[in-house]
Amino acid sequence: MLVTGGSRGIGEMIATGFVEAGARVYISSRKQKVCDEVAGRLSQAGKCVSLPADLGSEAGCKQLAAAYRAHEDGLDVLVNNAGANWGASFEDFPDSAWDKVLALNLKAILFLTRELAPELEKNASPDDPSRVINIGSIDGLHVPALDTYSYSSSKAAVHHLTRVLAKRLAASKVTVNAIAPGPFRSKMMAETLDNFGDMIVAQVPLSRIGEPEDMAGIAIYLASRAGSYLTGTVIPVDGGMSGCL
Ligand SMILES: NC(=O)c1ccc[n+]([C@@H]2O[C@H](COP(=O)([O-])OP(=O)(O)OC[C@H]3O[C@@H](n4cnc5c(N)ncnc54)[C@H](OP(=O)(O)O)[C@@H]3O)[C@@H](O)[C@H]2O)c1
């Protein structure tokens, strides 16, 4: 399996869960040193390989797919997790915040999934489809409190792209689902949780932020036999934040 943005945060939570469950896991991110270090650490519990790449362009997605192909000729699970956020006021929200965020959060999902479709199809069967898991966000389900215009729009688009790709790839026996996380501790969320943590927890019906096991568990479920009859779904993993309003 391959996890983009697997070097920290939600991607690392998912990669760790799969390594511990015995999967052969490839992780990718831009910073080679960090990616190598995390893969080295996770390899103490199983098998994890670092494939650094910048997915902010189609060329970077092609480069990652080629690097993966140098190791494997099939792919069971692709987790499109790498993402970026940008906060700026309504008055000042810049053009560049659209280009950067949409390139990584949205376009890279299409480009990487398309590049790796032959490898996904190779390992797919009617009883055991290959799985694509996209990481969306509850900010694509509800209107977020903070000024993140391109981010929340990109995540709503990720959810819809998930449905479109699910239909397109169903005949190839590849399922495509999205996880929409609520608040989880990560570099992206560190400042928000440090400044507004108590307020955010107060908005979560289950009164806590997500733990690594919550994220690893839903991804393992989607990749397991139990998840093989789901496609085109968006699953909120948010302690009830988006569903119990
Ligand atoms: N944490 C939350 O509460 C939360 C909630 C909802 C949704 N999400 C979603 O979950 C995903 C992971 O977020 P996170 O919170 O774990 O963020 P994070 O801690 O900032 O991690 C982002 C990961 O993506 C990689 N990355 C960033 N830009 C990249 C690029 N251009 N090319 C390739 N890799 C890149 C980063 O490594 P490098 O910097 O080395 O490239 C890192 O591994 C994102 O899609 C995010 O929108 C998170």
Q: Is the CB of 3 under 6 A from ligand 1?
A: no
pLDDT, mean of residues 97-120 = 98
Instruction: Out of 3, 12, 28, 29, give the residue to mutate to test ligand 1, the one with the largest number of ligand atoms within 8 Å of its CB.
Output: 29
The answer to the question of residue 244 being in a domain is no
Q: Give the position, in ligand 1's atom list, of the atom nearest the Cα of 104.
A: 31
The answer to the question of residue 245 being in a domain is no
Distance 171 CA to ligand 1 centre (A): 30
Give the helix ranges, DSSP H, for the chain. Answer: 9-20, 32-42, 58-69, 95-102, 108-122, 149-169, 187-203, 212-223
pTM over 0.95: yes
**Is-contact 180 170, C-beta < 8 A?**
no
The answer to the question of residue 243 being in a domain is no
Q: Is the pLDDT of residue 245 over 80?
A: no
Catalytic position from the list 26, 149, 151, 221: 151
**112-162 pLDDT tens trace:** 999 999 999 999 999 999 999 999 999 999 999 899 999 999 999 999 999
Q: 75: helix, coil or strand?
A: coil
* Total number of domains constituting the chain: 1
Q: Which domain holds residue 30?
A: 2-237
* Identity at 16, one-letter amino acid code: T
CA 214-218-219 angle, 5° bins: 115
**9-54 pLDDT tens trace:** 999 999 999 999 999 999 999 999 999 999 999 999 999 999 999 9
Say which CATH number the domain at 217 has: 3.40.50.720
